[in-house]
Amino acid sequence: MNLAKVVIVTVLAGTLSIAIALFSEHWLAERGADTIGLQQHGKHATALPDLRLADLSGRQVALGEWAGKVVVLNYWATWCPPCLREMPVLAALQAEVGAERLQVIGIAIDRLDAVARFLQQQDVGYPVLLGDADAIEASRRLGNRTSGLPFTAVFDRRGTPVFSHTGEIRRQEIEQHILPLLSRDAG
């Protein structure tokens, strides 16, 4: 096989793989798989993950530190354009609601140096932790079936997962899934 055929076959195979992954995620989302149920099914999370992740200084931080608040876990990376586009939306949500009732937490699936460099240029207004293998596995249990980025999971004040979304989160999803939760939990 000549080089041109190898390149064409490789590009076609890659395109087909991406198309299948996107179709699968869309198919699951249309069937309500984006919203996490409350039933225990072995490998599905039913509570805020019991994770300890490093912040940029290396200090281990337990996600449980934010118990009693609505928690928005947002998996992202510096090399992910949709991740970077949604960060101002999440920062605005954090500023709008305040840390008393809501905590957005960024979980960077990236290298420490890249994350530190990015955050020096772009203040997000919420804590950013460095994801590891346990964090990635937790995202799968929370509904991130394709290990895609960005990925967002929302937990009520009791730590119960109530919503997950693979892909760029927009103001519409926040208004539909997060703000009503804050109103319900405001008592």
Q: Whole-angstrom Cα distance, residue 16 to residue 11?
A: 9
Specify the pLDDT at position 11.
Answer: 59
pLDDT attached to residue 125: 95
- Topology adopted by domain 38-185: Glutaredoxin (3.40.30)
pLDDT of residue 37: 34
Q: Write down the residue that tokens 């009791």 correspond to.
A: 158
Kindly report the pTM of this predicted structure: 0.76
pLDDT at 74: 98
- pLDDT tens by residue, 101-117: 999 999 999 999 999 99
Collapsing DSSP to helix, strand or coil, 116 comes out as: helix
pLDDT of residue 18: 57
Q: Is 125 left (phi over 0), alpha (psi -120 to 50) or beta?
A: left
Q: How many residues does the chain have?
A: 187
Predicted local confidence at residue 141, as pLDDT? 94
Predicted confidence at residue 167, as pLDDT, reads 96
pLDDT at position 8? 72
Stretches in the chain below the pLDDT threshold 70 = 1, 6-7, 9-44, 184-187
**Cis preceding linkage at 81, omega within 30:** no
pLDDT of residue 30: 42
pLDDT digits (tens, 9 = 90+) for 134-157: 999 999 999 999 999 999 999 999
pLDDT at 5: 74
Q: What are the extents of the domains in the chain?
A: 1-33, 38-185
